[in-house]
Amino acid sequence: MAAKGSEPIETRLFINNEFRESSSKKTFDVVYPYTQEVIAQVHEADVNDVNDAVAAARAAFPAWRDLGVDGRGAYLRKVSELFIDANDELARLETLCTGRPISQFIDAKLSSDTWRSFADAGWNVQGTASTHTPGLLSLTVKEPYGVAAMIIPWNFPLIMFSMKMAAALAAGNTVVLKSSEKAPLTSIAAAKLIQKAGFPPGVVNIIAGHGNPTGAALAEHMDVRCISFTGSSLTGQKIQAAAAKSNMKHVHTELGGKSPAVVFEDADLESAAAQTQFSIRFNSGQVCVANSRIYVQESVAEKFKALFREQFEQYALGDPLDPATQQGPQIDVLQYKRVQEYLGVGEKDGELTVGGDAKDGYFVKPTIFEKVPEDSRVMREEIFGPVVAINTFKTEEEAIQKANDTEFGLYASVFTKDLDRAIRLSKALEAGTVGVNCTSPTNAKDAAFGGYKMSGTGREGLLYSIDNFVQTKSIIIKAAGNSAGLF
Ligand code: NAD
């Protein structure tokens, strides 16, 4: 099937280095959210296909592990180059699936950087050595798990694909990745790059399908030894449960958020307003770290809100394939209806002061609610739309209490020029990342990314992702003739 006058879109599963149809021949539709046209019918992996993919990965594991860091790194370096060559195709496919404006597509470049970084990163996977116990040399080494599964969401699929897969492969695992049923096309296109790079058969397997049956079959598979998941907290709980009920595979999760931004009266209000409004507007608010709750000190609230609105209301809604478009629609009818529901809750519980439903396809205007009670669903649940609640506070204690009054803990930010206060808030805010005078999506490549509380377990990033894909083994060596050790 071809879309928008380009080369045919690959829609099959990639198992053991071959593209093949699903064993059931079942497919699902992928829809361009702007026109609501079906752009591809993608093969859905059923349990048999999942079994085949895992079996291929399992068979390929010993040789891949034994190839060593340089041997594996050569393949990763090649993929890094191919991502740059494929930029335009990947940009078009990601836009068609997600509706994110094509002008914001930097994901192939970021992916290329990630693959290049992990090509050498295996050398840093090191253990310890000790002679502290008389008569013994004890070592720890880090080893891959074997078959690593990964399940990714639809909002930044290519970035998730690369961060998980490059790290798992660098550590010596073989992989089976399931893409999101809403945005599977760049994962399949990346499978073509994997094939072109000449990986040994079975090292990388890429399948598509819904949470049920495909994702669930991976999560409960007895030959999958670790699973890395990015998606909602609800699905994260299901995957943890499936892992516990099957083989207790190692589970790494990157989950949802309800990120607060706290703006004090001494802050650079222009910068705070510019950054916070972008954070919740970017990708139509479909970003795990988006600052969906803003707390501004009462004394500067009116000034801050005026600055915020000035930029928040200037956006160009339109066709995401048009380079002039700044904001696309929500990804699909389900997500649009979900946001619509929260718009209703917000209007009932608080005051709608800007935006609302665009009443045009799946578009939602950048929306502000004010005076929303802290126990409203708008304040407590992840909306995943361009919808922000701006509330006020009087004291620092009150701001901290409100910011932390959530089950999520992904990213929190504080805007202040007072260094002491910045340090106090950095310690007090319960989140995996705290931005000081900056907010999401600002991040550093070598920072640890991940959640406190129900926002996840484990960390990702150039220095951290590999930790999710290795286990620690101790090797105890006893010198002859020594009575050594604890027993
Ligand atoms: P989702 O949880 O609905 O789906 C994520 C993936 O899980 C999809 O591939 C889906 O098919 C699969 N899945 C669903 N049910 C499953 C099951 N029972 N077993 C196995 N797999 C299953 O999430 P989504 O709507 O695709 O993505 C949005 C969510 O992802 C938001 O909550 C967002 O905050 C979160 N997210 C988090 C991060 C992060 O790094 N913390 C990044 C991006 C997105």
- Break the chain into its structural domains and give their ranges: 13-255+456-473, 260-436
Determine the residue of 50, 151, 234, 338 to mutate for testing ligand 1's pocket, defined as the one with the most ligand atoms within 8 A of the Cβ atom: 151
Backbone φ, ψ for residue 391 (5° rounding): -120, 170
> In this predicted structure, what is the pLDDT of residue 228?
98
> In this predicted structure, what is the pLDDT of residue 481?
77
Residues whose beta carbon lies within 6 Å of some atom of ligand 1: 151-155, 178, 180-181, 210-212, 215-216, 219, 230-232, 235, 238-239, 254-257, 288, 382, 384, 410, 451, 456
> In this predicted structure, what is the pLDDT of residue 3?
47
> In this predicted structure, what is the pLDDT of residue 485?
64
CA distances from 483 to 133, 246, 486 (A): 11, 41, 10
**Shortest CA distance to 139 belongs to which of 126, 147, 149, 127?**
127
Distance CA 152, CA 187 (A): 10
Distance CA 340, CA 338 (A): 5
> In this predicted structure, what is the pLDDT of residue 487?
60
260-436 — its CATH code? 3.40.309.10
Strand partners, 357: 364
> In this predicted structure, what is the pLDDT of residue 316?
86
8 Å CB contact between 64 and 84:
no
- Is 288 in the active site? yes
**What does the pLDDT profile of the chain (487 residues) look like in tens digits?**
444 456 789 999 999 999 999 999 999 999 999 999 999 999 999 999 999 999 999 999 999 999 999 999 999 999 999 999 999 999 999 999 999 999 999 999 999 999 999 999 999 999 999 999 999 999 999 999 999 999 999 999 999 999 999 999 999 999 999 999 999 999 999 999 999 999 999 999 999 999 999 999 999 999 999 999 999 999 999 999 999 999 999 999 999 999 999 999 999 999 999 999 999 999 999 999 999 999 999 999 999 999 999 999 988 899 999 999 999 999 999 999 999 999 999 999 999 999 999 999 999 999 999 999 999 999 999 999 999 999 999 999 999 999 999 999 999 999 999 999 999 999 999 999 999 999 999 999 999 999 999 999 999 999 999 999 999 999 999 988 776 566 6
Which residue puts its alpha carbon closest to atom 42 of ligand 1? 288
State the catalytic residue, choosing from 44, 94, 181, 288: 288
Distance CA 396, CA 81 (A): 49
8 Å CB contact between 400 and 372:
no
State the catalytic residue, choosing from 254, 382, 396, 460: 254
Secondary structure (DSSP) of 309-361: HHHHT---BS-TTSTT--B---SSHHHHHHHHHHHHHHHHHSEEEEEEE--ST
> In this predicted structure, what is the pLDDT of residue 480?
82
Which residue puts its alpha carbon closest to atom 26 of ligand 1? 153
Distance 216 CA to ligand 1 centre (A): 12
Domains 13-255+456-473 and 260-436 share a fold: no
> In this predicted structure, what is the pLDDT of residue 1?
44
8 Å CB contact between 250 and 471:
yes
8 Å CB contact between 9 and 186:
no
Distance 285 CA to ligand 1 centre (A): 15
Tokens 């915020």 — which residue? Answer: 308
Ligand 1 atom, smallest distance to 455 CA: 41
Which residue puts its alpha carbon closest to atom 8 of ligand 1? 180
Determine the residue of 227, 230, 235, 253 to mutate for testing ligand 1's pocket, defined as the one with the most ligand atoms within 8 A of the Cβ atom: 235
* 348 contact partners, CB below 8 Å, separation of at least 6: none
The tokens for 131 are 């002679």
**Shortest CA distance to 92 belongs to which of 102, 100, 84?**
102
Kindly state the helix (H) or strand (E) to which residue 377 belongs, with its residue range.
helix 377-380
The tokens for 71 are 């041997």
Which residue puts its alpha carbon closest to atom 31 of ligand 1? 232
8 Å CB contact between 468 and 125:
no
Question: How far does CA 236 lie from the centroid of its chain?
Answer: 12
> In this predicted structure, what is the pLDDT of residue 484?
59
Which residue puts its alpha carbon closest to atom 17 of ligand 1? 211
The tokens for 376 are 């409203």
Distance CA 21, CA 466 (A): 32
8 Å CB contact between 247 and 271:
no
Tokens 């093949």 — which residue? Answer: 20
**Shortest CA distance to 42 belongs to which of 286, 207, 261, 266?**
207
8 Å CB contact between 111 and 162:
yes
Distance 179 CA to ligand 1 centre (A): 10
- Is 94 in the active site? no
Which residue puts its alpha carbon closest to atom 11 of ligand 1? 211
Strand, helix or coil for residue 101:
coil
Determine the residue of 160, 181, 232 to mutate for testing ligand 1's pocket, defined as the one with the most ligand atoms within 8 A of the Cβ atom: 232
May I ask the CATH class of domain 13-255+456-473? alpha beta
